Chain A
Amino acid sequence: MKKVKLMVAVLGCSLWSAQLLGQPARFTNQTEFGLLQGKGAFKQGGSFTLQTFNGIRLNEFAEVGGTVGLDAYPDITLVPLAFGWRGVIPAGNVSPFLAMDVGYAFDWLKKETEISWYSGGLMFNPSIGVRIRSKKTDRFLLAVGYKRQQYSHYEGRLLSGGFAVVPETERSALPPGFEFLQRDDYILQRLSIRVGVMF
């Protein structure tokens, strides 16, 4: 499995560098906002998403770059940073495209306390859409996709009173000074619906 991963990575990198060397790169930006629809684990309510993809155009079919976003879920607002790829079928005024963003979302915007904290998690967001040319070069876009986002919430209770004796080997299971810890591992699965503009 490792070998396969390594081969894919090497192949990807070599293709990319070949493309970069082959022709002059052009910067591209795709900024979108929209909704993340789905059945929440506990709290219902729509989630709002904003993201911007900045990359270079390898050729008329492919773009690679980085994606930065802001996803406001009912429970938490996360900041995803991702590697982004866009594959385009150029076709006049309406060009279909595929998008893939894979990365990690951070919990930077969530307040933490001694007994309650969050950790972000992996993010995976494939989508499909169309880019619509209007007037000269500006393009609008519409895209739908699937967004999978992991994150964890920790909430604990500090030791109070009695001095618990815990065998050394088992101490690592709890942070020092805690008598109880609940870890909720969420996997959010949403339908992403976005509109945006390209520069």
Chain B
Amino acid sequence: MRYRSKRLHKTLYLQTMRALLIFVTILYMLPFLWMLSTSLKADQDLYLFPPKFIPIPPVFQNYKNATEYFPFFRYFGNSLIITFGTVVGTLLSCPLVAYSFSKLRWRGRDFFFYIMIGSIMLPFAVTMIPQFIIFKKLGWVNTFLPLIVPSFFGTPLYIFLLRQFFQTIPDELLDAARVDGASEIQIYSRIMLPLSKPVLLLIMLFQFLASWNNYLGPLIYLTDEKKYPLSLGLPQFLNRYGTHWNWMMAAGTISIIPTLIFFFFAQKYLIEGIKLSGIKG
């Protein structure tokens, strides 16, 4: 009897949790459903109070209007170029540095490692102005270079994550290769990198997101509309046509499609990966 009431209690508890989760999930989806619903509404249905949720009939013309004033593919292409550049830079530089900080022995290594960790917490605003002046003197303002080039010099957070992973690879493995006369660059490229594919994928995803979602960087460096990535294109559309909420939401819906595609491919790795990165160390 006691056993049964305990089980009943547990079932009741789990069902309450399930109900709460369903509620929260709806809450978290609501702004996006509202966006989708608005993007299919006729003009006169925008300003109803209380608002109606299901647009009947759906007005697909909004999407056509939005894309007329919103050169999605150009912005998308620019975003893609910038993001691709930073991902390449990240993958070339970060593992190299992480290898040095985890598997090579040299004087001052730990000292510089702590400096690097400290710099993770440095606000971008502190370095932003002199960086801008450097790039201005190089004549790189209004090009993608200031957004891409820094990634070729390593990102502290990713170096830290890679180092944590590299440390789990036993030294004996590398020493055996050293005895066989392999150089460090060979060990790095033939042993370390192939063993680190999951964590390399993870920093690739992180960097993709960081670059794709970056707003302040492009805002500082890009002035020519032709060079705008999505992060500048969409707010500009908001400022110009923001009162046409159905067009605006159509543009918004189009803009987050890449994020959705990214999510469906990367979800598993990201959810696992953030758990790793958040805690260890």
A binds B: no
The chain A residues found within 8 Å of chain B, CB to CB, are none
The chain B residues found within 8 Å of chain A, CB to CB, are none
